[in-house]
Amino acid sequence: MPPKKKKAAEPEPVAVAAPETSGEESNERYVPGANDWEPAKIYVRPKEQLQLSDKELKEEFTRILKADNPEVCLRGEHGVKQKTLIRFSHKEKCYKVDGTIEQAEVHFAQEGILLDVKSDEAKKQKEKEDDEKAAQARQIELAHQEGGDGGDGDETNLRNQFNFSERASQTLNNALRERGTMTEPPPSVEYSSQCTQWEMYDAYMEDLERKKELEGKKSKKGGAPKKATNQAQQKGSEDVVHTAAMAHAAKILERMCNQNTFSDVTEDFKFWEDQSDLYRDEGTLLPLWRFMFEKTKKKHVTAVKWNPEFSDLFAVGYGSFDFMKQGGGMLCLFSLKNPSWPEFSCSVHCGVMCLDWHPQHSSVLCVGLYDGTVCVYDVRSKTQAPIYQSTVKTGKHTDPVWEVCWQEEDLAKNLNFFSISSDGRVTLWTLAKSELEFADLMQLKLIQKGAAKAGEEEEDSALLGLAGGCCFDFSKLSEHLFLVGTEEGWIHKCSKAYNSEYLGNYAGHYMAVYTVRWNPFHHKVFASCSADWTAKLWDHTHMTALLSFDLNVQVGDLAWSPWSSTTFACCTADGKVHVFDLNENKNEPYCEQKAVRKAKLTKIAFNAKVSTPIIAVGDDHGCVTTMKPSPNLRWNAITKAEAEAKAKADAEANAAGGPRKAAKKAAPAPGEEGAAAVDPRQLEIQKFDKLLEQAHKNQIHSE
């Protein structure tokens, strides 16, 4: 037989693209609905879809499911391929090879309490239960044997089975009776009248006179025997230890003991002068006393103010700047004569955020609290309660009060002060005869960052709400001007007489402005510090800062010195005090010194008396540290001129080998004997004018 011809191999099906046809007939297929009311269906076929034959459509492609991890890949090294699993390590931030490959994946797992009956653990549990049942049966059998055969196992065991009799009785309930009476309503009379202050005053005076007459009649009736008994009672009850004279003597003795204890600090404060300042161009701060109180160890120092009359007395407010940890506050008065204990202390229901002494009445102190309340204290009174306090009815603030400031007395000779709060209000408080009267001086409008000049606020800015005020300061040289620092980083120049708009807007800070202070000598200059790590110097006639100092950490507070127009100090969150003297160095601090360890400085204050050169700084551990600046930090216009004149004369004398007989004496420096009388304040203003002129020139060149 001839060999069979081999069948030719069937050619593999080739995907044939759909022929390109014009129109939509080849790509669309119309299928009418099964019923008249069903809509027709149109199937659209893409142009790039392959056209397969019936045989190709019937061909099956099988897929085998395997129990292998699909994430495993083959990885070859040196010609050998291995199965590896690569995972991302979140700890090392890179992909790493995982040596353990698990082929099983658990999608759901839950621990249960069921046990397999045939397991060893179930058998042990069954044996334990059988043992417990057997022990219980033995106890019941022993009880039957001891109590007799007739005992029933279900009976409850009584405390005394041999001497017990159960008795019960019922009592009658008392019958309830209701009684009611009717009474006539008391007669009421309507009365109305008008009352004025003078009528109230006359009524009080008549009442006092009537009481005095009654007391006089009683004393006449009693006569001498009552006086004798009163004197005897006074003598018998007199306690020498608790008299006012004894308290005064004990206070003097306590101060003497403290002076002996801190004698080295007292001598340094009185007589120490750093002689190394003669050979270097910087200054230092000498730490003196540290003031602490047991009840304020875990609180922040939120305010420090020196008394304007007594140079050794200062007030300290305690609260918290951490808004998640608020508690009670404390108000304390310390004296340099007694560092171990406060002269006056008062607990407050919430944190004290600010305070201020009255410039004329040195015993009157106004305080701002965290809950928006303002209080006025008279520290001479024995009670710790405030003499005035704002309430919700009298218009208290709704947010913390960040600063308060006393003002001159009004026409009616009433004391008044201003306050600023985060609720956007600058409020005037007047001490009336019975309560605090308030009047909103200004509501701080929120402006956009683009509107840097006055009058550029947008019309819909009122819809954004009010700006949160953080600090303010009133000019002592221009009574109507005051500055306001906000949480948004703005500094606004405002006027008491024109409170509808800002006179100027200064945009230099990017975070909350903590402090803004006018220069006490020059009427144009003010300084500010912020949480953006900077302290800036401004001229209120220009909208940009003249000088800016970056301290690389949050700046908590700023204060001008009372003896020089170019000296100011800042405290920062790293525990350092930075003292600047712009007349000596315009770029860096003249003194940078660490005041505390492991604490943040929150407040700083200069003593207002030039004869008492002390700086007080507070931290977030409830401690106030006092420091004395060295001579290089206490230069003013007169002392600087005297030192320069003396140095010049000494240099000329050394160069000439001693003063010549025919040589003319140099002109005396300002402040020396023989010199013309010059106002020290004018010299300070002239010194700062030169600095301003140079700063404006540098600003023009930089632009």
Cβ atoms of residues 499 and 442 within 8 Å: yes
DSSP-derived secondary structure for 7-21:
PPPPPPP--EEPPP-
What digits encode the pLDDT tens for the residues 224-263? 555 555 554 555 445 677 777 888 888 888 888 888 888 8
Burial pattern 378-400, b for ≥16 Cβ within 10 A else e, equals: ebeeeeeebebbbeeeebbbeeb
Opening angle at CA 67, ends 63 and 72, nearest 5: 95
CATH 2.130.10.10 domain span(s) along the chain: 275-447+465-635
Task: Write phi, then psi, for 438 (nearest 5 degrees).
Answer: -120, 155
What digits encode the pLDDT tens for the residues 516-575? 999 888 888 999 999 988 999 998 888 888 888 998 899 989 999 988 888 999 999 999
On the question of pLDDT at 672 being above 70, the answer is no
584 burial (CB, 10 Å; 0-12 / 13-18 / 19+) is middle
Match 């607990």 to its residue by tokens: 347
What pLDDT shows up at residue 8? 45
**Residue 201: enclosing H or E segment and its boundaries?**
helix 197-222
Q: How far is CA 119 from the centre of its chain?
A: 65
What digits encode the pLDDT tens for the residues 66-99? 778 888 887 776 666 778 888 888 888 898 888 7
Closest CA to 266 of 334, 336, 360: 336
CA distances from 445 to 202, 307, 462, 468 (A): 47, 34, 7, 9
What is d(CA 428, CA 423) in angstroms, rounded to the nearest whole number?
A: 15
Question: CA neighbours within 13 Å on the CB side: how many for 468?
Answer: 14
What is d(CA 661, CA 440) in angstroms, rounded to the nearest whole number?
A: 72
**Residue 210: enclosing H or E segment and its boundaries?**
helix 197-222
On the question of pLDDT at 464 being above 70, the answer is no
Confidence class of residue 701 from pLDDT cuts 50, 70 and 90? low
Question: CA neighbours within 13 Å on the CB side: how many for 428?
Answer: 16
Q: Does the predicted TM-score (pTM) go above 0.85?
A: no
Q: Which residues contact 674 (CB under 8 A, 6 or more apart)?
A: 668
Closest CA to 516 of 496, 551, 549, 489: 489
What digits encode the pLDDT tens for the residues 488-510? 888 999 988 887 888 888 888 88
Match 């930089």 to its residue by tokens: 702
**Residue 335: enclosing H or E segment and its boundaries?**
strand 329-335
Candidate from 9-23, 254-268, 344-358 with smallest mean pLDDT: 9-23
Other beta carbons within 10 angstroms of residue 532's beta carbon come to 16
The CATH H-level (homologous superfamily) assignment of domain 275-447+465-635 is YVTN repeat-like/Quinoprotein amine dehydrogenase (2.130.10.10)
Question: CA neighbours within 13 Å on the CB side: how many for 100?
Answer: 2
Cβ atoms of residues 87 and 96 within 8 Å: yes
What pLDDT shows up at residue 674? 47
Rg (CA), the chain: 46
> Average pLDDT of 636-651?
71
What digits encode the pLDDT tens for the residues 179-204? 888 888 888 888 888 888 888 888 88
Q: Give the orientation angle of helix 637-655 with respect to helix 680-702, to 10 degrees.
A: 90
SS3 652: helix
DSSP-derived secondary structure for 74-101:
EEEETTEEEEEEEEEETTTTEEEEES--
What is d(CA 606, CA 577) in angstroms, rounded to the nearest whole number?
A: 12
What pLDDT shows up at residue 229? 52
What is d(CA 405, CA 410) in angstroms, rounded to the nearest whole number?
A: 15
On the question of pLDDT at 633 being above 90, the answer is no
What digits encode the pLDDT tens for the residues 320-347? 888 888 888 999 999 988 888 888 888 9
Opening angle at CA 498, ends 538 and 486, nearest 5: 45
What is d(CA 544, CA 68) in angstroms, rounded to the nearest whole number?
A: 71
Return the DSSP state at 4: P
Both structure tokens of 160: 């005394």
